[in-house]
Chain A
Amino acid sequence: MWSLSNIAANIDQWLNANMSPTWALIVEMVIAGVAVIGLFAALGLVLVIMERKVSAWIQIRLGPNRVGPKGMLQSLADTLKLLVKEGMTPGGADKLLFNVAPFVAMIVAMLLLAPIAFAKDFQLWDLNIGVLYISAVSSISVISILMAGWASNNKYSLLGAMRSGAQIVSYELSAGLAVLAIVVLTGSLRISDIIQAQENGWWLFKGHIPVIIAFIIFIIAVTAETNRAPFDLAEAESELTAGFHTEYSGMKFALFFLAEYVNVFIVCAIGATLFLGGWMPFHIGNWHAFNGVMDWIPSSVWFFGKTFFLIFVIMWFRWTFPRLRIDQLLNLEWKYLLPISMFNLLLVTLIAIMGWHF
């Protein structure tokens, strides 16, 4: 069958047949690197045009429709514009930190792509602590924001960075607890195990109400973690003009912009993996006929479909809700989300111990 995992396997076979295992590994790494960067660029282009179209339709507008067929090449034109713009470094800025910050943001986003399973047997690195790795690495992204805000020598940037620091540190907790719910149910931190455990149904449907609550909390928390509206306080445009990236222009700004979108993709991919079965097709218990039909749809389509659905939901939030205030943002986390997710985790543990899930 023509699928991503087969292609990967064929390439692997071909390389191993033609060169020494070391060289094969090196070539494979290079291919993987190029693929990741390519995926980055493609994701940036696709997500930007998607966001613009979603916002336009919600706002009863047409959206971009001039560049390319139905405006689909608009984001390519935007990228080109950003590429040729001058990347300025403000006079009083800390030059090193200022220039490094966008790359840190990008590198964090790239590292996070490693354990994600894009299709059946199609994963860069199936490490045994996948979920832990994700939550550990994703919290580095706050450092890039703090670096950018501090180095810019701009008060708006500084305020934005400080807000973002407080926000990401708090929301990481409930995101972690929501993820933990699935880990408790599966009994494994390995991504492939988690997906395999959903062979007879996605956790969202198997795990009763507590998992649904965990899912909702997860979505809220990752929206906050990626600094998306209604939690976009770090760049709150009507308050802090552009927040931590006020002073950035040209390609350095584009890197931040890209990192934001890739982060959205990654958290949605994780959400899809944990709660919606990742690449696992929609299976219902022992209905083998039904499951067989579902298997006909390639696993990569399942994965990207689920991920893009979640991305759409997050965009939908952004274009519907007003922004929270900083103290309300922290209230929401510490007074509502955290207690609920802790209590919820207890319930999930109970379900897991008693084996009440399907």
Chain B
Amino acid sequence: MFEEVGTTTEGDLIINMGPQHPATHGVLHLVVTLNGETIKNVEPHLGYIHRSIEKMCESLTYRQFIYVTSRMDYLSAHINNHACAMCVEKGLQLEVPPRAQVIRVLMDELTRLASHELWWGAMAMDLGAFTPFFHAFREREVINDIMEETCGARLTMNYMVPGGVMHDLHPNFQQRVKDFLQLYKRKIHEYDELVTGNIIFQNRMKGVGIISPEDVISYGCTGPVARGSGVSSDVRKLYPYEIYDKLEFDEVLEDGCDSFARYMVRIREMQQSVRIIEQLIDNIPDGEFQAKTKAVLKLPKGEFYSKAETARGELGVYIVSEGGTTPYRIKFRSPGFSNLSALNHLVKGGKIGDLIAAMGTLDLVIPDIDR
């Protein structure tokens, strides 16, 4: 029972954070019940940016629907497209040429790096440090420039097509990626100096937003949120797709279970992505970048599922086909939605500042949650 003035019967304060609020990074609406500064309950209200992407996809052909998924988690646009293309390929029993596989993995990892860079800046900004945001964009811009040169766009590239990728790599690609890696290695220590090592930052992050491994599993959290609690959940390791099983990289696990552990997972994941890119950049096999496909794609009758590791966790694509040119039903399992469901558990009993910090470590992208 809420009274009109926005307090509960026990006299707690109810605050509507969002849908327009600087810390929600989009149109998320949190109904926060406060006792003084202490949080008693957080209830996310979703749907402000629901565009019925799943329904839209059902009226598009298998070639067309992929581009729409760039608009879900726009920071991992490549990986979304990748997961969808893989699902279609599964239905068509299509073999992707090795060159295309390598290109896809390279693009995925660059996307992951760019996404984590942006997250790092936004996270620091949530905690009140503005400078890292701009420094993070410096490196992210370089990745975006590389993407622009090869894919023709910076954010919603639509580069993955069923059977491979749309264009071949740009001739400058290798050199520019190497330049970027050099720049990145020169700057990586600044991240620690500015944020990670900072005593204020550490105090804000350590020991708050705790979630146990059991709770991680029961909420269905994936990605860095799960790995921050020591739950192995990297799709690239557990269900390798493309050439991930042939690559050397570690699944980053931290057992702090708190906001700082999730932060460190992402920081260390960036280094793993760099490691993957370094392994591949000089070993791109020659050959086709796209398998030969028919002009009109038709999936056989049946159900197909594929998943990929986006920057936020496990993205599942589930297609039901009736044998026509458009899917009968499409369902996306988006990582952001499950991760957000753990928010109340994370911050109950904490302070308002903890809510902001915990929300930052969940790395929410609202269109990914609402779709």
Could you tell me the distance between the alpha carbons of A321 and B129 in the complex, rounded to whole angstroms? Answer: 5
Which of B59-67, B175-183, B215-223, B348-356 binds A?
B348-356
Chain B: CB-nearest residue to A61 = B134
Determine whether the beta carbon of B138 is less than 8 Å from that of A325: no
Chain A: CB-nearest residue to B195 = A322
B-facing residues in A186-225 (Cβ within 8 Å): none
Say whether B152 faces chain A, with CB atoms less than 8 Å apart. no
- Given known A55-B130, A155-B15, contact A322–B351 (CB-CB < 8 A): no
Q: Using a Cβ cutoff of 8 Å, how many contacts connect chains A and B?
A: 84
Determine whether the beta carbon of A326 is less than 8 Å from that of B128: no
Q: Interface of chain B, helix or strand or loop or mixed?
A: helix
Say whether A143 faces chain B, with CB atoms less than 8 Å apart. no
Tally of contact residues, A, Cβ under 8 A: 28
Say whether B278 faces chain A, with CB atoms less than 8 Å apart. no
| Among candidates B22, B23, B198, residue contacting A322 with C-beta atoms closer than 8 Å | B198
| Among candidates A232, A240, A319, A328, residue contacting B131 with C-beta atoms closer than 8 Å | A319
A319 to chain B, nearest CB (A): 5
Say whether A3 faces chain B, with CB atoms less than 8 Å apart. no
Ranked nearest first, the 7 interchain pairs of A and B with the lowest CB-CB distance are: A323-B128, A325-B353, A322-B127, A59-B134, A322-B129, A238-B23, A238-B126
The residues of A that contact B351 with a CB separation of less than 8 Å are 325-327
Determine whether the beta carbon of B204 is less than 8 Å from that of A324: yes
Say whether B201 faces chain A, with CB atoms less than 8 Å apart. yes
The residues of B that contact A13 with a CB separation of less than 8 Å are none
Could you tell me the distance between the alpha carbons of A321 and B200 in the complex, rounded to whole angstroms? Answer: 8
Q: Which of B6, B21, B128, B203 has the most CB of A within 10 A?
A: B128
Binary flags per residue of B1-25, CB closer than 8 Å to A gives 1, else 0: 0000010000001010000011100
Given A322-B129, A324-B204, 19 more pairs with CB closer than 8 A: A59-B131, A155-B15, A156-B15, A159-B34, A230-B128, A236-B128, A238-B128, A239-B352, A319-B130, A319-B131, A320-B129, A321-B128, A321-B129, A322-B124, A322-B128, A324-B203, A325-B353, A326-B352, A328-B204
B15 to chain A, nearest CB (A): 5
| Among candidates B6, B21, B204, B356, residue contacting A155 with C-beta atoms closer than 8 Å | B6
Binary flags per residue of B113-146, CB closer than 8 Å to A gives 1, else 0: 0000000000011111111011100100000000
Chain A: CB-nearest residue to B204 = A325
Binary flags per residue of A225-240, CB closer than 8 Å to B gives 1, else 0: 0000110100011111
Could you tell me the distance between the alpha carbons of A239 and B125 in the complex, rounded to whole angstroms? Answer: 11
Say whether B37 faces chain A, with CB atoms less than 8 Å apart. yes
Say whether A60 faces chain B, with CB atoms less than 8 Å apart. yes
